[in-house]
Amino acid sequence: MTSMENRSEVNEFILTGLTDTQELQVPLFLMFTLITLVGNLRIIALISLNSCLHNAMYFFLSNLSLVDFGYSSDITPKVMAGLLLGDKVISYNGCATQVFFFSAFASIESFLLAFMAYDHHAAVCKPLHYNTIMTSTICAHMISGAYICGFLTSSALIGTTFSLSLCKSNIIHHFFCDLPPLLALTCSDIHTREIGSLS
C-alpha cells in the first residue's frame, strides 16, 4: 500500500481526552474558559488602556498574552466539546489545522521570549542608550518577524508531518492533536519521528 493510500484511509481521529470522570469535566471546562481565555484578554486590555504601560516590555508582554490566547483558541473549543458533549472525534483537516496553529504559536512564543530577553539585556546593560535601541519601530519589526517566522516554521512542519503515512491507528492518546502522539501513529521511517522534537 502506498503512503497516499494509507493517508486516505484516515479521515478522522479519536482523541482520548483529559478524563472520563463526570465530576471533573465542568471544573476543567471552567478552568479552560476563565483562566486561559479571559485572563489573557484582560492582560491585553489592561496594557492597551493604560498609557503608562506603553513601552517595549509591555508591548512584548501583550503579544505574549495574544499568543497564549491563540493557543487557547486553537485547543479549547475541541477540548470543551469533548468535556461537555463527549465529542472526541476530530477530522483529518481539523487535526492538521490544530497542529499548524499550535506549532505556529509555539514558535512565535519562542521568538517573543528571545526578544524579551534582548529587551531586558538592553535595559540592564545599556540603560542610557535603551530608548534609542528599543524604539517602537524596532519593536514592531521584532514582533512582525516573530509572527512571520513562526508561521513559516509551522508551514514546513505541517507539510512534513502530514505527508507521512498514518497506518497504525486513528486514536490519538491526548486531548488535542499534537505532534508526538500523532507521530506515534505513523509507519514511516523512524527518523521522521524526530520531527516531534521541533514542537
Model pTM? Answer: 0.79
Q: Which single residue is written with the C-alpha cell 505556529? A: 104
CA distances from 153 to 3, 107, 129, 163, 199 (A): 24, 7, 33, 16, 10
pLDDT in tens, 84-142: 677 788 888 888 899 999 999 999 999 999 999 999 999 999 999 998 999 989 999 99
Share of the chain above pLDDT 70, in %: 81
State the DSSP string of 60-124: HHHHHHHHHHHHHHHHHHHHHIIIII---EEEHHHHHHHHHHHHHHHHHHHHHHHHHHHHHHHHH
**Tens digits of residue pLDDT in 49-85:** 888 888 888 899 999 999 988 888 887 777 777 766 7
Distance, CA of 15 to CA of 170 (rounded, Å): 9
Q: What are residue 108's phi and psi, to 5 degrees?
A: -60, -40
User: pLDDT, tens digit, for every residue of 15-41?
Assistant: 776 666 667 666 776 777 777 777 888
The CATH superfamily holding the domain 3-198 is: Rhodopsin 7-helix transmembrane proteins (1.20.1070.10)
Cell readout for 118 is 534582548
| Cell 497516499 found at | 4
Cell of 134: 528599543
* Neighbouring-strand partners of residue 14: 89, 171
